[in-house]
A and B are shown apart, each in its own frame.
Chain A
Amino acid sequence: MSSTETRHAGMLPGGPGESIQVVVASDEEFETKDMTLSIGPQHPSTHGVLRVVLTLDGEIIKDAIPVVGYMHRGFDKLAEARDYRQIVALSNRHDWLSAFGNEIGVVLAAERLMELEVPARATWIRMLMCEWNRVLNHLMFIGSFGLELGAMTPIFYAFREREEIQALMEMATGARLHYTYCRVGGLKEDLPKGFIQRSASLVKIIRSRMADYEGLLLGNEIFKKRTVGIGRLDPQVALEYGVSGPILQATGVAEDARKTEPYLFYDQVEFDVPVGANGDSYDRFHVLYLRVLESLKIIEQIHSKIPAGPIMPGKMPKNLKPPAGWTYVRTENSLGETGYYVVSRGGTEPWRFKMRTPSFHNVSMIPELLRGVLLPDLISVLGSVFFVVGDVDR
């Protein structure tokens, strides 16, 4: 029972000179409680099994805690029981939207430990595959970000484009999603006849269709209202968390492994690293869009630069035994910096195989963006912090 006090409410209709007594309870009865809401692990917008536990005051988020681990498959432990060829097949299951980008780090690490010389043709083809995978990944996020904000149409266009690229990938590797195309020393097999021509014509088609996304999303008034100024990320905070890739570039930091620590032959092609001005959701999306155009540019340059030649450096030993040592290979995967820290003790299996994934750090940074934000903006922010759950949990 709370204490109550009575007050006169003034002159209310009920007859001249009559006042009505109003009983006002004390503040205790009017207290509101914050609501705890779990977005996920099954939710249309969380791109897989991510759970965010929110403390809501009405529709304002007071606190957000991401809960991950629903898809933890123990890659690090499994990799210690496999040799390097088998690890390639496991690794491409992480960022499954651009699977080739995961494989390349594994073989580069093994090749560096063995100090192996990879033929030029194999390196150029690897670059080509990496860039097509980057386009695949970015197109998916371009489509799904629109869907989360309510625009139903761009995702269908994005998937139409992706289907054609996946058909191209199938032509070379035999698989649409998990390629297992890399081998230590080179590639599994050479490109089929007609691949380069098909790839060249596909570049033109996709470039012409990118204008659709610009009209439907980037120029759309409502899209801008939902994303400009939302989820602003400070570059210093981003760097401290280890955020990388398009999210970091959107905050204004032009950090791209292809430029700062070139691997493969990225120092022999010309491309720009698009940066954003404000680090908000609109900039992250815009950087993604521009990166697709840059990747298409790179692909066109690669077409003219692939030399003839072998794709494996002669006869490779059946059991690869990289000498004892350690190394860290950093690649610029579509979502950011994917790295492999490999410790070898001279056996066929690695002693320690640590995979450093970009989505892990991107998701750890999410609470910084979400304090004081409205619930629909949570969706806008989550959709713009590009992550793949397989990448987060490994």
Chain B
Amino acid sequence: MIFEHFFNDPWVILGLKLAAVLGLFLTLPLIVGYGEHKGLAHMQSRFGPMEAGKFHGWAQLIADGVKFIQKEDIIPEAADRKVFAMAPAFALLPVMLTFLVLPFGPGLAGDEANGFFGENMDLSLFFVLAISAVGVIAMLMAGWSSANKFALIGAIRGAAQLIAYELPLVLAAGAVAMQAGSVSLVDIAAAQSDQLWFVVPQFAGFIIFIMASLAELSRPPFDMPIADSEIIFGHMTEYTGLRFALFLLAEYAGIVALAAVATVLFLGGWNAPPLLDISFIPAPFWTFAKIGALAFVIIWLRATYPRLREDQLQKMAWKFLIPASLIQILATGIFKVAF
């Protein structure tokens, strides 16, 4: 009796949800980061981490985290101290907030408000897209306050890039919302439960969404803002220690978040693929599997491609991706009305 009462208390449920979201936020990026170390290594005919934690270096990123925490806090003399110190927070919080609304599984039968997600917002897609735009501010704050010419160049490049690629991201997601008839991530995933996943009718939108996500995250081949052979490390050049670790955590968490959103929008969310629908595999497994596959593709792209110059990047966004996503919306609209 007491247990039931305990677990029905809304504050307890809220606490559990927040703990779960925080836990996922802190572990999934580490898994993706470790996957990147090992994946890149094997593609480049070397081993990757082998020592930390004895078995194939599984604890490498945890060791890195400990190392970053114990480093000296260095702020350049000419830097703007308050802005410099706050920039990582502006990078980290938006991603943390996106994790709240990502659905890893369906709602519980009979209880729409609870399930394998933090919060079932009616406008969760809109929320995610809006919040992830705040990352631009972090880049500009870091680059400007660092008092470093390379950081400044990186920040300006990053700001231009992120603003340009917001539009294809939003438009591609908008086409999916139109097809599903809802802006709620849970509903979009649920709408793909018995029918063809949206990746098939919206294939162009899928490609556009992935490219725009890569650009939003400054991942290769769109990593001009952090081009480490030209501008050292872009806006993060002067950062070290825990602040640097938080920037990197924000980047990897961003990969997970955008892969999760792409999974929900295009790859059917928690729905099992048609022939593999075995009942004892829980729904979140499929979500994590799909997120893992997308993260692997993102890592694979890093190993393969050189980076685009930023004016070629901008041209690609304005002259190619945006018109393509507009056509996608138009086509979706026509099909929605006609059929």
Contacts and interface: CB of A to CB of B under 8 A. Distances in A.
Interface in B187-246: 220-221, 223-224, 227-230, 232
Interface in A126-151: 146-151
Contacts of A11: none
B331 interface: no
B308 A375 contact: no
Contacts of A216: 304
Given A148-B229, A153-B303, A37 B44 contact: no
A90 interface: no
Interface residues of B, number: 27
A189 interface: no
B229 A157 contact: no
Contacts of B220: 150
B306 A146 contact: yes
A348 B220 CA distance: 58
B149 A223 contact: no
Interface string A375-387: 1111100000000
B233 to A, nearest CB: 10
Nearest to B232: A44
B221 A153 contact: no
Interface in B3-17: none
B221 A150 contact: yes
Nearest to B312: A225
B48 to A, nearest CB: 12
Interface in B310-327: 310-312
A216 B228 CA distance: 20
Given A45-B230, A376-B230, A379-B229, A222 B306 contact: yes
Q: Is the interface of A mostly helix, strand, loop or mixed?
A: helix
A153 B44 contact: yes
A223 to B, nearest CB: 5
Given A59-B153, A148-B229, A222 B307 contact: yes
A265 interface: no
Interface in A38-54: 43-45
B44 A156 contact: yes
A150 B312 CA distance: 15
B309 A156 contact: no
A217 B306 CA distance: 8
A114 interface: no
Interface string B75-114: 0000000000000000000000000000000000000000
Contacts of A225: 308-309, 312
Contacts of A153: 43-44, 303-304
Interface residues of A, number: 30
Contacts of B221: 150, 222
A45 B229 CA distance: 5
Contacts of A35: 149
Contacts of B227: 150, 376
B153 A151 contact: no
A149 B228 contact: no
B45 A149 contact: no
Contacts of B149: 35, 37
Nearest to B311: A374
B33 to A, nearest CB: 16
Nearest to B157: A59
B302 interface: yes
Contact of B306 (A37, A226, A375): A226
**B153, B229, B303: residue with the most chain A Cβ atoms closer than 10 Å:** B229
B339 interface: no
A151 B304 contact: yes
A141 to B, nearest CB: 14
Nearest to A379: B230
A328 B209 CA distance: 63
Contacts of A319: none
Contact of B305 (A59, A151, A377): A151
Nearest to B309: A376
B310 to A, nearest CB: 7
B228 A44 contact: yes
Contacts of B308: 222, 225-226
A160 interface: yes
B171 interface: no
A157 B45 contact: yes
A150 B45 contact: no
Interface string B1-43: 0000000000000000000000000000000000000001001
Contacts of A374: 309, 311
B44 A149 contact: no
A220 interface: yes
Nearest to A377: B309
B71 interface: no
B54 interface: no
A150 B304 CA distance: 9
B304 A376 contact: no
A116 interface: no
Nearest to B303: A153
A152 interface: yes
A355 to B, nearest CB: 30
A223 B306 contact: yes
Nearest to B305: A222
A44 B228 CA distance: 7
Contacts of B224: 376
Nearest to A230: B309
24 contacts: A44-B232, A45-B230, A59-B153, A146-B306, A148-B230, A150-B220, A150-B229, A150-B307, A151-B304, A152-B44, A153-B43, A153-B44, A153-B303, A156-B46, A220-B306, A223-B306, A225-B312, A226-B306, A226-B307, A226-B308, A374-B309, A375-B153, A376-B227, A376-B230
* A-B complex: 9 closest residue pairs judged by Cβ atoms: A150-B307, A149-B306, A156-B44, A151-B306, A150-B306, A148-B229, A45-B229, A376-B309, A379-B230
Given A150-B229, A217-B306, A376-B227, 7 more contacts: A37-B149, A150-B221, A150-B305, A157-B45, A222-B307, A225-B309, A226-B308
Interface of B: 40, 43-46, 149, 153, 220-221, 223-224, 227-230, 232, 302-312
